[in-house]
């Protein structure tokens, strides 16, 4: 692969903390190698800012392998940037060319308040899991793993749903800031498996109730979430969630 260097203009959201208003700040970076990752380009910018005696830009990141779900930049109007099925940390500078202007914002959703610059608080996702995103089995109670045979197709579907990394791109992409793709991925993962069956009904009702309580919006099936999901979680999961919800709500006496 031929590589090249480029000069770029960055318009980055700066915000001191959650209680003040933020604004865009423009910075120039030069000699950015096409081999760098997007976050490494930010590392260069931050070193430059420190050198100039300014505060570096705060952003969430950790594994830089596309699996921890921590990175969360809204790049040129798209969560995680232009590449399909890719997290910000796996986006590389080959995606851009010399002279480009790149606009970088945090996730924007009421349920994800900005903590600083590009960092947001996604604790709402943890609370949704607390509401029912688990199988109630204590350590030590398990029977032999092979006593529960699972149809391969079902197991594969459950795995595909469980691949969700909880990054919140689905919420950031949705015009209503709905968390339906995230919630449906967990509901589907556990509903597809026999282990999840006993709590099937309470799980879906409780998780949806918590989602509403957190201030996420409603789903209107535009599919923007699926289009930006770095793990390609399918919209089919939302259909399954709706079915599970109807089944549970119809017989619920709560």
Write out the binding residues for other proteins, residues 61-120 only, by CB under 8 A.
Answer: 61-70, 83, 86, 90, 92, 94, 115-116, 119
Of residues 151 and 212, the one with the C-beta less far from other proteins? 151
Compute the least distance from the CB of residue 20 to other proteins, in Å. 11
- Site pattern 177..216 for other proteins (x: CB under 8 A): ------------xx--x-xx--------------------
Q: Indicate whether 33 belongs to the interface with other proteins (CB under 8 A).
A: yes
Are 73 and 38 contacting, i.e. CB atoms less than 8 angstroms apart?
A: yes
Are 108 and 22 contacting, i.e. CB atoms less than 8 angstroms apart?
A: no
| Cβ contacts of 12 within 8 Å, gap of 6 or more | 24, 25, 26, 27, 57, 104, 117, 118
Candidates 22, 27, 40, 103: give the one binding other proteins (CB under 8 A).
Answer: 40
Are 207 and 181 contacting, i.e. CB atoms less than 8 angstroms apart?
A: no
**Strand partners for 79:** 74
Compute the least distance from the CB of residue 222 to other proteins, in Å. 27
Q: How far is 161 from 172, CA to CA, in rounded Å? A: 19
Candidates 14, 22, 37, 108: give the one binding other proteins (CB under 8 A).
Answer: 37
Q: Indicate whether 19 belongs to the interface with other proteins (CB under 8 A).
A: no
Are 180 and 225 contacting, i.e. CB atoms less than 8 angstroms apart?
A: yes
Q: Indicate whether 158 belongs to the interface with other proteins (CB under 8 A).
A: yes
């Amino acid at each position: 692969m031929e590589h090249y260097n480029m000069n770029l203009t960055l318009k980055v959201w700066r915000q001191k903390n959650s209680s003040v208003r933020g604004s865009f700040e423009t910075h120039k970076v030069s000699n950015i190698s096409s081999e760098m990752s997007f976050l490494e380009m930010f590392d260069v910018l931050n070193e430059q800012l420190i050198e100039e005696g300014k505060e570096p830009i705060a952003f969430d990141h950790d594994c830089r392998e596309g699996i921890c779900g921590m990175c969360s930049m809204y790049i040129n109007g798209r969560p995680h940037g232009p590449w399909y099925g890719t997290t910000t940390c796996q986006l590389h500078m080959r995606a851009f060319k010399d002279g480009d202007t790149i606009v970088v914002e945090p996730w924007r959703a009421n349920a994800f308040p900005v903590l600083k610059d590009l960092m947001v608080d996604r604790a709402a996702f943890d609370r949704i899991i607390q509401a029912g995103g688990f199988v109630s089995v204590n350590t030590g109670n398990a029977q032999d793993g092979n006593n529960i045979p699972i149809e391969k197709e079902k197991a594969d579907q459950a795995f595909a749903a469980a691949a969700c990394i909880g990054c919140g791109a689905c919420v950031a992409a949705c015009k209503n800031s709905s968390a339906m793709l995230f919630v449906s991925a967990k509901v589907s993962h556990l509903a597809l498996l026999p282990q999840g069956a006993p709590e099937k009904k309470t799980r879906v009702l409780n998780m949806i109730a918590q989602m509403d309580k957190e201030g996420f919006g409603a789903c209107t099936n535009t599919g923007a979430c699926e289009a930006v999901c770095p793990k390609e979680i399918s919209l089919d999961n939302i259909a399954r969630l709706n079915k599970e919800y109807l089944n549970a709500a119809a017989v619920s006496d709560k």
